[in-house]
Structure 1
Amino acid sequence: MSDREKLEARLIWERPEPASRPAPEPLSREQIVRAAIALADADGLAAVSLRKVGASLDAGPMRLYGYLSSKEELLELMVDAVYGEMASEGPLTGDWRQALRAMAHRTRRAANRHPWFIDLLGGRPHLGPHALAHVEASFAALNGTPGFEHIDRIMLAVGTVDAYVLGALRNETSKLESGMNQGQWEDASGAYIQRMIATGRFPMLGRVVRDATHPSPDAVFEQGLDCVLDGIAARLGR
């Protein structure tokens, strides 16, 4: 067997589950993944381990190894399950702007339901069936649209929106990682910021504090997305 064949044999997406056993309790990859997602939703990714997932299912970690070989595979299965939730919202419809906007908001809703999800995006592509279906639907929504005749333009537009969404959501979640909500964080840091502005070294930050409207996170996300889509439209018009 070649190195490539050995690698493909290790991919969980094409590796069958063990035969179902009635005792001590029936188990499946879906049950394992749902248990892991419940732990991550409650306490973050740090709470996810094969031992803890097994304990929540009254199964030892060695039994779980019959269904997956590592925590990394479990995380991949969790990501794909969230992509499945996104796909359940139905096809992307409308013109290219509507389709890309819907794609962005689906990802944001998924990240709001599962805050850990954004930490697992980026880097190497996800190869699960639901993740691949999401990419396929995103590309297909632009296929045949004037200006997107070449696949490179489709990939650039989808990739640009994905990059914006990833950055915007990480910015949203980073403000809450201290354990404080936005208001608490502002109260805790406000006096320090005011002292720094009073030094006169940061006049633009002073304008931000005094004059900026500071819209809600929903509005900020929508406005940033509009900028990205306007940029894509301008590029198409050139």
Structure 2
Amino acid sequence: MTVWDRPEPPSRPAPVPLDRERIVAAALALADEGGLEAVSLRKVAARLDAGPMRLYGYISTKEELFDLMVDEVHGELLPDGPPAGGWREVLRERAHRLRQAARRHEWLADLLGGRPTLGPNALAATEAMLAALDGLADLDTVRRAVETVNAYVIGAIRIEIAHLRAERATGLSERDWQLANGAYVTRMLATGRYPALARAVHDGTEVGAEESFATGLEWVLDAVAAKLGPPPA
């Protein structure tokens, strides 16, 4: 039985009111402040000024708590209304919403890419993507299309968040890190053993994370479009 199937205990006002919504909100606050390592049922209980054993009436394991946290964030990804455009707009909007959610909740990057999240918000988000592609190709092609977009988006997000964490850990911005390692890279490229890399370093154009993400996403959507049938007349 999943955590969503299992009913909550009857509400009790004392010593403090408790429900899954309050528990998840406290866990989100802890994770936003200190990452997933800052989240435990004991710490969440302390945040709520409740006894740890009370939480077990609502959540059995920390993994269930993580599932609830991820689904809560998926609620931020749901569109505000009916889709305003075609399938590209639907998938593009979700991708950018997920990236922004991961920047607000960096711990989310650690939980993306595992087993599918089965909460109602995550299911609704997946439904919206599949529905946007419905009828454009056979079902297996539609599923592969969604999986391909998700793989790019999750990978790009995890890389971006890893860079942000590295900046904080070292105290060096991306530019500072490049300057600190510039002399070594220059010596290595001067050996002539890495001509393609040398051209990329010397002649390539640096872009920010947002532009890089958006460009890569459009390339992936272009590839998906090539696999889909023509739009209905």
Q: Is the 8 A contact 2:32 2:106 kept in 1?
A: yes
Q: Is the 8 A contact 1:92 1:138 kept in 2?
A: no
Q: How far apart, CA to CA, are the structure 2 residues paired with 1:187 and 1:36? A: 39
Q: Is the 8 A contact 2:141 2:227 kept in 1?
A: no
Match of residue 4 from structure 2: 13
Counterpart mapping for 1:170-181 below 5 A:
170-178=158-166, 179=169, 180=171, 181=173
Q: Deviations over 1:198-231 (max 9, x none)?
A: 3332222222221111111111111101111111
Residue 212 in 1 paired to residue 178 in 2? no
Deviation at 1:197, TM superposition (A): 2.1
Residue 37 in 1 paired to residue 28 in 2? yes
Q: Deviations over 1:156-200 (max 9, x none)?
A: 111111111011111111222322443343344333323322333
Q: How far apart, CA to CA, are the structure 2 residues paired with 1:36 and 1:213? A: 41
Q: Identity, % of aligned pairs?
A: 58
Match of residue 236 from structure 1: 228
Q: Is the 8 A contact 1:92 1:102 kept in 2?
A: no
Match of residue 200 from structure 1: 192
| TM, length-normalised to structure 2 | 0.90
Q: Do the aligned partners of residues 172 and 195 (structure 1) sit closer, same or farther apart at CA in structure 2, a change above 3 Å counting?
A: same
Moved more, 60-69 or 195-204: 195-204
Match of residue 60 from structure 2: 69
Q: Do the aligned partners of residues 191 and 176 (structure 1) sit closer, same or farther apart at CA in structure 2, a change above 3 Å counting?
A: farther
Q: Is the 8 A contact 2:35 2:107 kept in 1?
A: yes
The one-letter amino acid paired with 1:177 is R
Q: Which runs of 5+ in 2 are unaligned?
A: none
Match of residue 40 from structure 2: 49
Number of matched pairs: 226
Deviation at 1:19, TM superposition (A): 0.9
Q: How far apart, CA to CA, are the structure 2 residues paired with 1:91 and 1:105? A: 17
Q: Is the 8 A contact 2:30 2:38 kept in 1?
A: yes
Q: Which runs of 5+ in 1 are unaligned?
A: 1-7
Match of residue 114 from structure 1: 105
The one of 175, 186, 197 equivalent to 1:183 is: 175
Deviation at 1:237, TM superposition (A): 5.9
Q: Is the 8 A contact 1:45 1:116 kept in 2?
A: yes
Q: How far apart, CA to CA, are the structure 2 residues paired with 1:47 and 1:184? A: 29
Match of residue 5 from structure 1: none
The CA RMSD measured in Å over matched residues stands at 1.8
Q: How far apart, CA to CA, are the structure 1 residues paired with 2:18 and 2:212? A: 43
Q: Is the 8 A contact 2:103 2:161 kept in 1?
A: no
Deviation at 1:236, TM superposition (A): 2.8
Q: How far apart, CA to CA, are the structure 2 residues paired with 1:202 and 1:29? A: 55
Q: Is the 8 A contact 1:87 1:130 kept in 2?
A: yes
Q: How far apart, CA to CA, are the structure 2 residues paired with 1:43 and 1:195? A: 39
Match of residue 3 from structure 1: none
The one-letter amino acid paired with 1:235 is K
Counterpart mapping for 1:56-135 below 5 A:
56-87=47-78, 89-135=80-126
Residue 167 in 1 paired to residue 126 in 2? no
Q: Do the aligned partners of residues 214 and 78 (structure 1) sit closer, same or farther apart at CA in structure 2, a change above 3 Å counting?
A: same
Q: Is the 8 A contact 2:149 2:220 kept in 1?
A: yes
Q: How far apart, CA to CA, are the structure 1 residues paired with 2:63 and 2:28? A: 14
Q: How far apart, CA to CA, are the structure 2 residues paired with 1:49 and 1:187? A: 40
